[in-house]
Structure 1
Amino acid sequence: MSLYSLWGALEIGLIFGLVALGVLISFRILRFPDLTVDGSFPLGGACAAVLISQGVDPFISTFVAMCAGAFAGMITGWLNVRLKIMDLLASILMMTALYSINLRVMGRPNVPLINDDTVFTILQPSGWSDDYIFRPLLLVLIVIIAKLLLDWFFSTQKGLGMRATGSNPRMARAQGVATGGMILLGMAISNALVALAGALFAQSQGGADISMGIGTIVIGLAAVIVGESILPSRRLVWATLAVILGAILYRFFIALALNADFIGLQAQDLNLVTAVLVTIALVIPLLKKRKKAIRKS
């Protein structure tokens, strides 16, 4: 595998590290099976691409994309909390609605960003010609900032209330925690991170496409599962680091599998490779438990 492919895998892995952080909030902290991310990821890309193509500042466009994703997540939470629709069904309904909304936002199936300024081109130093190296370095900084902010938030009173809501909602309500509000807030933060990833993905890849969100939830879950397998910990500080590393390793495994000539895989085998990697990640913890049980016996 070439050096260019390695940098590309790192770049995409870091972007999906933000998705993994969002999935961690919904699936692990809130215990909310959220499929909205398949719609909020392209929503972020669509909002950013449309605004940038119309001459809006890329940083403002990216912020608007995050707000749009947060609003989508809040709607999913509202369907569950206020209308009492089952969490999984509420997210499916929102994901389905977002497909049409994204088409409305873009006005067409895709919006190119070939000659438009993005956050990457604006922040890239004038003397730096290797943009394929600069983009991953900038994304490392963005992901680190997102991780540190999440670690700080979940150590505050509201963050602890959100964690309590996911762990034991009855006990949380007994302690005076507004569990409904915590779900709305958590879903907003989760999908804002996913939309941020979508906005950065569109700017990195040169445009937004209506199909760019297909399989996002699978990638996010794969990153979480792989991360928890290589760095198991109950501390949230390590959990956020684990899912980011999981996303990066996942993309490296994908790139390695698709670029290995002796395996013979092609681009259309991406979903197959994903399924195999997730299966392996799920089996590894079970094998570890069996080994421990055998040693004890």
Structure 2
Amino acid sequence: MELPIVVGVDGSDAGLRAVDWAVSEAGLRGLPLRIVYADVRARPGKGAAGLGSATPPDRDAARRILERAARRAQGAGTEAKISTEAVGGDAVETLLDEARHAAALITGCRGRDTFVRLGRGINRSLAARAACPLIVVRGDATALSARHRRVVLGLGAAPVARPVVEFAFGAAEVRNAVLEAVRAWRAPAHELRAHPLIVGDPPVHQRDRAVQLLEDALRGPAADHPKAVVCRAAVEGRVDTVLRTRSTTADLLVIGAKRHYGRTELSLGRRIEALLQHSACPVAVVPHSP
């Protein structure tokens, strides 16, 4: 059974841009598309069609939102099989449940908020807990229509999990795009002064460590994707600032988030949250184990 691409909609233009992205993603990967609307005023199990105890106007609103989203998807000329559903309950919990049976979960973003009328922080909650990769569709219509043919993979200081790198290779492959792996580095303050245990220029030492991390992370996946065009960039600066800059000429930014067993949420960190809010292109957050 093929897992679908799932996109959450709320009736906003940001939600429709997420549908556009989801249609494209489903087409590129040859997967079905599932469009979901969460009606926070309804509760499951108390009414027909999964709309709980919502009043008729609420059911009408849900139907209109889903029909508009479906028309948008069909208007893109996709061959993907499209299904829609309105579910009663909290948007975050609804989409988390959908993520358990999805190849990827896609949401929209308007300014600093996602599903604005449902409240701030929904993307952060989804990124922290979703069982599948979450793609937050950032950027306005003009930016999203651009085709840079470049996927950026942001690497942190810790060894990078294979699933994150594999996802980035796959994203670049289906788009016929260059994969740019980026590792930001900064010399600690104490290394900016003379240090008896460091031979050579301290910033060069930090840069070389970043270059080695890139090589270690890419070696295995690159061998499995011999036709992939890969660029490596070790860049001095704050990781969120470096990746935000690179996102201006990218089709997708891929970052990993570590899942700690026994905890309900991923440890996202302020820098990942900053990218979810300020990236110039869509951001894919790929969960992985320590």
Q: Same fold (TM over 0.5)?
A: no
Q: When the two structures are superposed, what TM-score results if normalisation uses the length of structure 2?
A: 0.21
Higher relative contact order (CA 8 A, sep 6+): 1
Bigger radius of gyration: 2
Q: When the two structures are superposed, what TM-score results if normalisation uses the length of structure 1?
A: 0.21
Normalized per residue, the structure richer in strand is: 2
